[in-house]
Amino acid sequence: MPDDPTAPRPALPAGPQPEAGGTGGLKKRLLAVDGSPVAVKGASRLRRTLPGDSRYGDALSTANQLPHDLIGRELVAMSAERPSAVRELGLGALQVWQKLSEGLGRGHGDQPVTLLFTDLVGFSTWALEAGDSSAVNLLRKVGDAQEDAIATYGGRVVKRLGDGLMAVFVTPEDAVAAAVEAQEHIGHVEVDGYRPQLRAGVHSGTPRKLGGDYLGVDVNVAARVADAAKGGEVLVSDPVADHLEADGHAYLYRMGRRKRLKAAGTPKELRVCRVQSAD
């Protein structure tokens, strides 16, 4: 006799049921492991053995706009409220990537570079009288003039400093050529009858590259060289002048007599000289 489809069927034996909040419990356990002092300490210790900057992740080391720096900032922001082993491991991977990028030529690391600092002489006084609109207009024109020259000679703007900037170049001759050309371009800039006066300083050394910025004694020296320049003047330090003379580029310029740079935070024996186009 066929089964009656309407007849009640026996209940199947109950199998194991998932615990209420099982997923939440797993998440809590994972977070506990991630934040445990042992795991965090182990991950931090591992980072110190990896190539690159073991403190990668702070504001200085992630200041650039490169993809790995953007990821680094996001990683730090997401786990800023508590210690995290995953964060340390993630930053460790990014520090290795940064180091490899430098090795492939995407950064200079501790290799010699040439730094250019510029600023406008008397700009603040003029801006007080001219007003914000004219001041912004002038800064845009000056910025375009400088950055066009810097790009022409393969330089990179590291940061903008109010009415000036800091740029980095692979070679001294490129930095000097960019500075001299920038001066020539800015000679044609005029806003409301005012002609800006740019001063520039060029110095070569081996500064510490940290993220998109450079730090160290050579950065301070380059800034002091620029501070010592007068409006419309390009000053270069001994290492830059020596390079121009040794590599046969000095004929492109009129180079002044070298004078000792009297500025705090610079070597006592360091000298500077004025450089102008020979044309």
Q: Tell me if the pTM is above 0.75.
A: no
- For residues 79 and 31, is the Cβ–Cβ distance under 8 A? no
Query: What average pLDDT does range 5-22 have in this prediction?
Result: 56
pLDDT in tens, 104-128: 444 444 689 999 999 999 999 999 9
* Mean pLDDT confidence for 78-106: 70
Indicate if the pLDDT at residue 73 is higher than 90: no
Q: What is the mean pLDDT of the chain?
A: 84
CATH 3.30.70.1230 in the chain: give the residue spans.
Answer: 113-277
Phi, psi (deg, nearest 5) at residue 260: -70, 135
Q: What is the pLDDT of residue 105?
A: 43
Contact 144, 160 (CB under 8 A): no
Cα–Cα distance for residue pair 168/33, rounded to 1 Å: 44
pLDDT at 4 over 80: no
Residue 172 confidence (pLDDT) above 50: yes
Q: Which residues contact 52 (CB under 8 A, 6 or more apart)?
A: 95, 96, 98, 99
User: Does residue 19 carry a pLDDT above 70?
Assistant: no
Which range of 76-80, 131-135, 247-251 scores highest in mean pLDDT? It is 131-135
Mean pLDDT along residues 207-224: 88
> What kind of fold does domain 113-277 have according to CATH?
Alpha-Beta Plaits (3.30.70)
Cβ atoms 235, 200 nearer than 8 A? yes
Angle between helical axes of 85-101 and 37-49 (0-180°, round to 10): 10
* Pairwise CA distance, residues 162 & 146, whole Å: 14
Sign of CA dihedral 186, 189, 194, 195: positive
- Tell me the CA distances in angstroms from 157 to 161, 169, 175, 235, one per residue in order: 11, 9, 11, 19
Cα separation, 149 vs 202, whole angstroms: 14
Q: How much is the average pLDDT of 32-41? A: 79
- At position 183, the amino acid (one-letter code) is Q
Taking 70 as the threshold, does the pLDDT of residue 219 lie above it?
A: yes
pLDDT grade for 257, boundaries at 50, 70 and 90: very high
Residue 256 has pLDDT above 60, yes or no: yes
The pLDDT score that the predictor gives to residue 81 is 67
The pLDDT assigned to 64 comes to 58
Q: Which two tokens mark 227? A: 């501070």
Determine the pLDDT at residue 2.
55
Strands (E), the chain: 113-121, 156-161, 164-169, 197-205, 208-210, 213-215, 234-237, 253-255, 259-260, 271-277
